[in-house]
Amino acid sequence: MAKRIVINLEPGKPPVRRKSRRWLRILALLAIVLVVVIGLAAVGGFFWWRHYQSTPAYSLTLLVDAVQRGDAEELAKRIDDEEIARNMAAVVSKKASSRYGISMSSATQQKIDQAMPALLPRVKQMMHDEVTKEIKNFVAASPPNPKPFVILLISVPSLMTITTEGDVAKAVSAVTHSSLELTMRRDADRWKVTGFNNDAVVQRLVDSVMKELPAIGSVDSVDPLLKNLGKSRKKRR
């Protein structure tokens, strides 16, 4: 095999070997590939983050962060107090009506329907306070408190079971110490809380409404049904 003879034309300088140039090219190629991979990862991460910001999980994280910071302006963006109050008022009206059972009269139903609009401001404030209180309890259950936003981004989705159907989402606490259950609706590129399900709160509201309604068992002589019942009892005698 013939050997290559390298003649050093410049005295005092070592001969330049092509092998070293080859390694430089390989290293340069690897550096270019690494830069391209990092660039693609950065672009992919950016689009993923933009998509995640439009999910219910991110809006819920913003809500939890606003509650623990006491940020009223951000809470107003994340909670639809009017919608929650209307939804809860409908539930309370139905529950209050069901308590009367057979003694329910059309006049009593009318009184319930008339009472609900006047109760809406009270229901609205009560529901706002209850939502924030439940979220505070949910956050305070595990240290550290208050939690940095980065930790909330990781912990909130893992502690809530979130299901989405179209523009409506349900968020239910996945931990035993909390009964937090929220309904959310898409609001532009974010989500807003529009419903709060808590049996204890509903019970308190119904009790409050019942104090302003006729007592259960009271006879309404105007109601035709009760009139007919009264006549049938007299005939039996």
- What would the pLDDT profile of 156-199 be if each residue is shown by its tens digit? 888 889 999 999 999 998 876 777 899 999 998 899 999 988 88
Closest among 86, 105, 110, 96 to 208, alpha carbons compared:
96
Tally the C-alpha atoms within 13 A of residue 41's C-alpha that lie toward its C-beta: 6
pTM: 0.70
**What pLDDT shows up at residue 226?**
41
**What pLDDT shows up at residue 221?**
44
Separation of alpha carbons 196 and 30, rounded Å: 55
Q: What is the mean pLDDT of residues 188-216?
A: 82
Closest among 40, 18, 21 to 29, alpha carbons compared:
21
**What pLDDT shows up at residue 217?**
59
Phi, psi at residue 191, to the nearest 5°?
-130, 150
Closest among 187, 234, 229, 201 to 85, alpha carbons compared:
201
Separation of alpha carbons 199 and 91, rounded Å: 11
Q: What is the mean pLDDT of residues 16-38?
A: 81
- What would the pLDDT profile of 129-156 be if each residue is shown by its tens digit? 888 888 888 877 667 778 889 999 998 8
Give the residue ranges of DSSP H helices in 4-143. 18-52, 56-69, 72-78, 81-100, 106-140
- What would the pLDDT profile of 63-114 be if each residue is shown by its tens digit? 999 998 889 999 988 999 999 988 888 888 888 788 777 777 777 777 777 7
